[in-house]
């Protein structure tokens, strides 16, 4: 049925559209077989055949895309498969000899644009000395000034809690609690002696 739908003449079994239709039918049958039978990861041969069919269909689709874009789009629409826009390199610098002016893989192009925007946003930035403008180093994340409220207590609004002490302590409401630095050295901290690495 699919062969009759896409063949250009009687006994046409090898045109690109017919090959894409046959490979799509094989892929769908193999997919149904894989979904129907669960062998717990023992489907290596069937998965290998699926990869081969998909590669062969992609190659045929790219060939048809280069030669006849209208037929390619009609075939993809009829079979219900995604109409991929392949990136085709130009054979020459003459734009009149282009195979297809629409030969741009839109999904891949959008991915590359997103990657470029992300890399431009997080690119290494240079740090220069204020007086001489001499470049000191490169940094990936530009340092922002520390806010004035950093390390200082902040007042918290009073609220009721079901656990003890059943609310916010008065010192926290007034913003007079002690802020402890978890990275500060504790009581009895004694810095280690400087030692030469590899020496005595």
Q: What pLDDT, in 10s, does the model give residues 91-125?
A: 555 655 555 545 556 666 777 777 888 777 777 77
Please report the pLDDT score of residue 199 as a whole number. 46
Q: State the pTM of this model.
A: 0.45
Confidence (pLDDT) at 145: 73
Per-residue CA distances from 85 to 64, 82, 105, 109, 110 (Å): 11, 9, 4, 10, 12
User: Could you give the 3-state DSSP secondary structure of residue 67?
Assistant: helix
Question: Considering only CA atoms, which of 33, 25, 89 is closest in space to residue 57?
Answer: 25
Select the highest-mean-pLDDT range: 90-94, 165-169, 190-194.
Answer: 165-169
Task: Give counts: helices (H), strands (E), the chain.
Answer: 6, 2
Between 182 and 72, name the one with better pLDDT.
Answer: 72
Answer whether 54's CB lies under 8 Å from 47's CB: no
For the stretch 23-54, pLDDT in tens is: 999 999 998 888 888 766 667 888 889 999 99
What are the E-state strand segments in the chain? 125-128, 135-139
Q: pLDDT band at 60, cuts 50/70/90?
A: very high
CA separation for the pair 3, 20 (Å, rounded):
10
**Section 12-22 average pLDDT:** 91
- Residue 89: the pLDDT is 61
**Chain centroid to CA 102:** 25
Helix (H, G, I), strand (E, B) or coil at 35: helix
User: CA Rg, the chain, in Å?
Assistant: 34
Q: Please say if the pLDDT value at position 22 is more than 90.
A: yes
Cβ-based neighbour number of residue 16 at 10 Å: 19
Judged on CB neighbours under 10 Å (0-12, 13-18, 19+), 117 is exposed
pLDDT, residue 153, reads 87
Largest CA distance in the chain: 95
> H helices of 68-129, where?
69-79, 106-121
Determine contact, residues 2/25, Cβ cutoff 8 Å: yes
Of residues 145 and 13, which shows the higher confidence score? 13
Per-residue pLDDT tens digits for 117-165: 877 777 777 778 888 888 877 766 555 677 787 778 888 888 888 777 7
CA-closest candidate to residue 122, choices 145, 144, 139: 139
């Amino acid at each position: 049925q699919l062969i009759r739908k896409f063949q250009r003449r009687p006994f046409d079994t090898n045109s690109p559209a017919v090959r894409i239709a046959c490979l799509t039918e094989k892929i769908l049958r193999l997919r149904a077989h894989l979904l129907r039978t669960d062998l717990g990861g023992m489907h290596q041969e069937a998965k290998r055949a699926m990869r081969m069919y998909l590669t062969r269909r992609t190659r045929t689709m790219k060939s048809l895309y280069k030669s006849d874009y209208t037929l390619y789009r009609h075939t993809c629409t009829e079979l219900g498969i995604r109409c991929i826009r392949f990136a085709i390199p130009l054979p020459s610098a003459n734009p009149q000899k282009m195979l297809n002016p629409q030969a741009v893989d839109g999904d891949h192009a959008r991915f590359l644009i997103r990657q470029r925007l992300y890399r431009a946003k997080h690119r290494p930035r240079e740090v220069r000395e204020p007086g001489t403008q001499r470049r000191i180093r490169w940094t990936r994340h530009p340092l922002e000034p520390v806010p004035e409220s950093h390390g200082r207590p902040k007042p918290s609004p009073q609220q009721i809690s079901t656990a003890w002490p059943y609310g916010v302590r008065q010192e926290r409401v007034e913003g007079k609690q002690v802020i402890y630095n978890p990275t500060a050295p504790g009581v009895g901290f004694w810095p280690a002696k400087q030692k030469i690495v590899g020496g005595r």
